[in-house]
A and B are shown apart, each in its own frame.
Chain A
């Protein structure tokens, strides 16, 4: 790599011009807000700011469109990236994978466990409408879903698992006061193991405070936290079902 190319800046129309376009709102009226906007740009480490547009958008808000220069350079020789960045396929691609590689419907039981009455997370992932334009799991033809809703007792869930024979069990926990979610989740893994059901299913939990690490610690295969999209969950399920050959575990 030549020395010149080792350092990079944003590009407008000339190499190294460092031009960046930014727009934002300051919750103050003009002209005072203009001075605030300029300082925001400076604090960002940008120079020669050019406020190309400013507008009073009422209720003491001012909107700005600004161009400014970034005059540092980024040393790209120090950057390591994971070349195999995982791209979540879209709804149609996931449907196709289920059809071609699994060939039958993946059965899923979903619920909010124990005392927790919140279905916000569960609904965003399961309901057909989904979240922010990303289709919910119900929308997938390749999934057969039994949604038990909120406040499901552990014993009832176990009974339903034995009846419905799911490949996947999805547990949502929103309330985390006094770590109630940890107790709820742990009790389930213990019960599944006692009933010899654990190895028949992919066990997933989700909620604002859930991380993959926490999930593993509690005996779950995976955990999804805030800002999870249904397609992420769908893609994980499909991959794991294939990898672990879970589709025929009940027969």
Chain B
């Protein structure tokens, strides 16, 4: 639809975003003194460290845990490594890491050199690591100029067999059928693992492990298909959970194209420690930005377990905060794909009008963002025929309100991870709607005193009210009080809190090491 058809009050939008900014700034102030084990592991991965030791433990975990036990992680891994390299020569960082792992060298016992000297080495190491990520970004840009993306809304599907080789076959099928973006769903509860598994994997529960080797395998298959159909097909994965910074790094190294990234999701639905995951998220978004990888956020989850009619405003609240958090991490609006969903009770009279209202509201609040629109799941049953029709209504709203990333619903949503032909039926449905509704959004206006505008305004005003409350008490208190999804999460509880480390005065800020170097 034309921008501004909802006739929202511009001043109220600016006000709402200023509240979001305050909340985000407060979060950044609170997390500033800390680093995490996962950030330090990600820094090692940026330096090129990979692989597992003889016990099957990833080197990055083994090394960071060793240093943490000696209480020296407060200096940051880059400080310790750079200090070591001032004194000793190693053929590669990987070799140094393997020696630390085998206790051939104890880098915590080396006398510290002059901080400026250490910083010089650190800058060089980081620059070398980051330049690989920047090259991947350029490689993507080149490929997209050669094989342009499809038309919006981008059709986005998921594959989740648990076996990377089967995933490869199904990814290929989906891409040829017309998918613009494909995600490999992660194995159930990978977000709770405090390490990234290694290698090509064939056994996952409800999905496939996110590993560097799996990323590489699927991206290669999609590169072949992209070349063949002359359209660049994007690969999506999930940078969430306890290894958020590492996964973001691996995604950048392996040229993934879009990452689901949302601390709030982990806090509410995976009981991750709020502080830990906010610190991790800041770093992750910074890395993804360097790698030219936009994020999509998980607000859709907020209305999957509670009633969307009553709680849709929490989606808007979270989006406004998330946008500011991403901006604070250096992202621009085009890189911030805020999420939401079509989740109203199908028995609700005029529910379709409310869905239009909500989707258009998001579109107008964030006109430059690649909004991610998620299909119905909550009220789906084994009636696959009705389910297919619900997805059709969802597809209509996606096109009518110009959503950008359209995750396609599956008729078997309530039953199993998608079968290869479920995906076919779903892509066919979406293509049919997209083609038939082409240009409809341009011709469409909304009645000024009608149901749609009234619903949009109501939701927005409720969100502003909540933002006012949260900005006065701060997000951590709001989480403790259960403001989102009816779930209470105290600041110093939840998984991963033991991986939060206070930095000391020697700590070299990753952000400074990069900014000063001007890539």
Does B301 count as interface, using CB distance less than 8 angstroms?
yes
Assess A23 versus B173: contact at CB under 8 Å? Given A119-B192, A129-B301, A133-B380.
Answer: no
Assess whether A57 is interfacial by the CB under 8 Å rule. yes
Q: Interface residue count for B (Cβ, 8 Å)?
A: 31
Per-residue A-contact encoding for B472-487, CB less than 8 Å = 1, 0 else: 0000000000000111
CB distance from A64 to the nearest CB of B (A): 9
Please state if B485 and A128 are interface contacts (CB–CB under 8 Å): yes
**Is residue B420 within 8 Å, beta carbon to beta carbon, of the partner chain?**
yes
A127 to B271, CA, bound (A): 8
When C-beta atoms are compared, the residue in chain A nearest to B269 turns out to be A129
Is B113 among interface residues, defined by CB-CB distance under 8 A? no
- Contact call B176/A58, Cβ cutoff below 8 A: yes
Contact A25 B420 (CB under 8 A): yes
Decide: A61 near B173, CB < 8 A? Known: A120-B189, A123-B188, A130-B305.
Answer: yes
**Is A248 in the interface zone, CB < 8 Å from B?**
no
Bound complex: CA A139 to CA B176 (Å): 40
Chain B residue, CB-CB nearest to A64: B421
Q: Which residue of A lies closest to B423 (CB)?
A: A57
A-B pair number, CB within 8 angstroms: 69
Q: Which residues of B contact A133 (CB under 8 A)?
A: 304, 377-378, 380, 413-414
> Closest approach, in angstroms, between the C-beta of A153 and any C-beta of chain B?
17
Q: Which chain A residues border B495 with CB–CB below 8 Å?
A: 149
Chain A, Cβ-Cβ closest to B176? A58
**Interface contact A63-B205, CB-CB below 8 Å:** no
Residue-by-residue, is B291-311 near A (CB-CB < 8 Å gives 1, otherwise 0)? Answer: 000000000010011000000
Complex formed: what's the CA distance from A24 to B424 in Å?
Answer: 12
Quick one: which of B297-336 are within 8 Å of A by CB? 301, 304-305
Selected contact of A63 from candidates B176, B188, B424, B487, CB within 8 Å: B424
Interface string of B183-204 (1 = CB under 8 A from A): 0000011001000000000000
Q: In residues 342-379 of chain B, which contact A (Cβ within 8 Å)? A: 377-378
* A82, B87: Cα distance in complex, Å: 79
Please name all residues of chain B whose beta carbon is closer than 8 Å to the beta carbon of A139 when the two chains form the complex. 305, 486-487
Closest residue to B384 on the A side, CB-wise?
Answer: A23
Complex CA distance for A138 and B487, rounded to whole angstroms: 8
Is B419 positioned at the interface, with any CB of A under 8 Å from its CB?
A: yes
Interface residues of A in 8-65 (CB under 8 A from B): 23-25, 55, 57-61, 63
> Which of chain A's residues 48-104 have a Cβ closer than 8 Å to chain B?
55, 57-61, 63
A127 touching B173 in the complex, CB below 8 Å, given contacts A25-B421, A119-B192, A135-B305: no
- B191: min CB distance to chain A, Å: 9
Q: Is B130 an interface residue (CB 8 A)?
A: no
Q: Which of A140-171 contact B (CB under 8 A)?
A: 147, 149
A129 and B305 contact, Cβ closer than 8 Å, known pairs A57-B421, A59-B170: yes
Is A179 interfacial (CB-CB < 8 Å)?
Answer: no
- Assess whether B268 is interfacial by the CB under 8 Å rule: yes
Minimum C-beta distance from B369 to chain A (A): 25
Nearest-Cβ distance from residue B387 to partner chain A, whole angstroms: 12
Closest to B192 in A: A119
CA distance A128 to B271 in the complex (A): 9
Known pairs A128-B269, A149-B495; A57 contacts B424 (CB<8 A): yes
Is A222 an interface position by the 8 A CB rule?
no
**Which residues of chain B have C-beta atoms less than 8 A from A119's C-beta?**
189, 192
Contact B424 A127 (CB under 8 A): no
B455 at the interface (CB under 8 A from A): no
Among residues of B, the one whose C-beta sits closest to the C-beta of A141 is B486
A124 an interface residue at 8 Å Cβ cutoff?
yes
List residues of B (25-77) whose CB comes within 8 Å of A's CBs: none
CB-CB under 8 A from A120, the residues of chain B are 188-189, 205
Flag if A128 contacts B192 (CB, 8 Å). no
Q: In the complex where A58-B172, A138-B487 touch, is A123 in contact with B192 (Cβ < 8 A)?
A: yes
B227 to A: closest C-beta gap in Å: 15
Question: A177 within 8 Å of B by Cβ?
Answer: no
Contact A129 B377 (CB under 8 A): no
Interface positions of B from 452 to 499, Cβ below 8 Å from A: 485-487, 495
B255-286 interface code vs A (CB 8 A; 1 in, 0 out): 00000000000001111000000000000000
A251 contacts the other chain (Cβ, under 8 Å)? no
CB–CB B173/A132 < 8 A = no
A39, chain B: closest CB distance, angstroms: 19
CA distance A58 to B177 in the complex (A): 7
Measured between beta carbons, the chain A residues less than 8 angstroms from B419 are 25
A23 to chain B, nearest CB (A): 7
* CA gap between A201 and B402 in the complex, in Å: 55
Whole-angstrom distance from the CB of A65 to the nearest CB of chain B?
Answer: 9
The 9 A-B residue pairs with the shortest CB-CB distance in the complex, in nearest-first order: A58-B176, A59-B173, A59-B172, A129-B269, A63-B421, A57-B424, A58-B173, A123-B189, A25-B421
Which residues on A are within 8 Å of B, measured CB to CB?
Answer: 23-25, 55, 57-61, 63, 119-120, 123-124, 127-130, 132-133, 135, 138-139, 147, 149
Contacts A58-B176, A59-B169, A123-B192 known; 9 new A-B pairs at CB < 8 A: A57-B173, A58-B172, A63-B421, A120-B189, A120-B205, A127-B270, A128-B487, A129-B304, A129-B305
A-B contact pairs, 8 of them (CB 8 A): A57-B421, A61-B169, A120-B188, A120-B189, A128-B485, A130-B305, A133-B304, A135-B305
